[in-house]
């Protein structure tokens, strides 16, 4: 795939076009790669937009202004149709957490977990999904490195199949993939086609390998997972949107090791577990029910009768700080 690395003369490109709005494809400290009319311009940010927190996210539509000389700067950020945020990691106990917008204007969120190495943390998947629900962004779950949990006869470990089934029953498409065996790659390619997707997952889960397998020629750097700690090394820290040959683009999110919810109201939490929605309002205490130990709770009854996964219910209680 041809990657747009050439740097056109910003002034002439902006002068050629009536419309000077582009999309931020990459950000590195102080610089932004903005794609405009199939070309990429490296821009700075207008001084009046700068602040303690970078206001630009990958995926933002921005208006550019010409700078004297050959440069261009981001002069305005256009309204976002959605954003996917996390609570910032707090560097010091005295500092305040703030919203960190990981990506803006996406069509779908794709959490990627390894079936093994590193061991998947399903509560983290639930946090990603709750954040996507809160923003109304569709999500697809991808579990990769399937080859690591397959027997010689090709059968898959029942525990993993059970988890995949839990998420399917909650309403999420689940793709079981392996860059080694090629399982799930066609399904994933179809899901990515023509859409802007953000891949979420800790380093080492296999995101880059998956993208390289989906689109040979991307040449993304592959991480190594420490056999002892099961943790991946960080190779890149810059967030980047990668255009796909078949149309659409993916945003890889390297360095997102932690993921805390931002701006999700605890009172709304049950609604962000889609499998709980049919039961909300049907508890004895109506909408006041926390779905924990209250008598006559319709959600708990659905858990007991197998309609809601006990593990997903526990994850809800955990996020609600009830356990």
List interacting residues with ligand GDP (CB under 6 A). 144-145, 147-148, 178-180, 201, 203-209, 222-225, 232
Q: Are 315 and 309 in contact (CB under 8 A)?
A: no
Minimal distance in Å, beta carbon 151 to ligand GDP?
Answer: 15
Task: For ligand GDP, give the closer residue by CB, 201 or 243.
Answer: 201
Contact in structure between 65 and 22 (CB atoms under 8 Å): no
Closer residue to ligand GDP, CB minimum distance, 55 or 182: 182
Residue number with CB closer to ligand GDP (126 or 252): 252
Q: Measured from the CB atom, is 17 or 234 closer to ligand GDP?
A: 234
State the Cα angle at 194 between 192 and 196, rounded to 5°: 65
Minimum CB–partner distance for residue 142 and ligand GDP (Å): 11
State the minimum distance, in angstroms, from the CB of residue 203 to ligand GDP.
4
CB of 241 to ligand GDP, least distance (A): 15
How far CA 57 is from CA of 26, 61, 117, 187, 277, in Å, comes to 9, 9, 30, 28, 32
Q: Which residue is nearest to ligand GDP (CB)?
A: 223
Residue 250 vs 289, nearer CB to ligand GDP:
250
DSSP labels for 284-310? TTGGG--SSS-TT-HHHHHHHTTSS-H
Q: Are 69 and 10 in contact (CB under 8 A)?
A: no
Min dist CB 233 to ligand GDP, Å, is 8
What is the spatial distance between Cα 250 and Cα 119, in angstroms, rounded to a whole number? 24
């Amino acid at each position: 795939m041809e990657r747009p690395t050439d740097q056109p003369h910003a002034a002439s490109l902006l002068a050629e076009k009536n419309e000077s709005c582009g999309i931020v494809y990459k950000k590195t400290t102080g610089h932004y790669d903005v794609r405009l009319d199939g070309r990429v311009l490296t821009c700075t940010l207008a001084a009046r937009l700068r602040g303690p927190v970078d206001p630009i996210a990958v995926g933002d539509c921005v208006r550019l202004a010409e700078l004297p000389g050959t440069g261009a700067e981001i002069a305005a950020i256009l309204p976002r149709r959605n954003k996917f945020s996390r609570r910032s990691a707090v560097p010091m106990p005295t500092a305040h957490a703030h919203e960190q917008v990981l990506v803006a204007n996406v069509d779908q969120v794709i959490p990627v977990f390894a079936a093994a190495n590193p061991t998947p943390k399903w509560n983290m998947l639930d946090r990603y999904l709750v954040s996507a629900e809160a923003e109304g962004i569709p999500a697809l779950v991808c579990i990769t490195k399937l080859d690591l949990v397959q027997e010689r006869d090709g059968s898959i470990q029942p525990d993993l199949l059970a988890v995949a089934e839990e998420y399917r029953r909650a309403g999420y498409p689940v793709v079981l993939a392996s860059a080694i065996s090629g399982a799930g790659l066609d399904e994933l390619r179809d899901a990515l086609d023509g859409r802007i997707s953000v891949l979420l997952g800790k380093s080492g889960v296999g995101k880059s390998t998956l993208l390289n397998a989906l689109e040979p020629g991307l040449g993304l750097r592959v991480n190594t997972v420490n056999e002892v700690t099961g943790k991946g090394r960080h190779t890149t820290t810059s967030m980047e949107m990668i255009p796909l040959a078949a149309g659409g683009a993916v945003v890889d999110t390297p360095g997102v090791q932690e993921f805390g919810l931002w701006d999700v109201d605890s009172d709304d939490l049950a609604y962000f577990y889609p499998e709980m929605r049919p039961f909300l309002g049907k508890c004895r205490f109506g909408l006041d029910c926390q779905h924990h130990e209250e008598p006559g709770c319709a959600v708990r009854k659905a858990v007991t009768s197998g309609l809601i996964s006990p593990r997903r219910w526990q994850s809800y209680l955990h996020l609600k700080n009830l356990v």
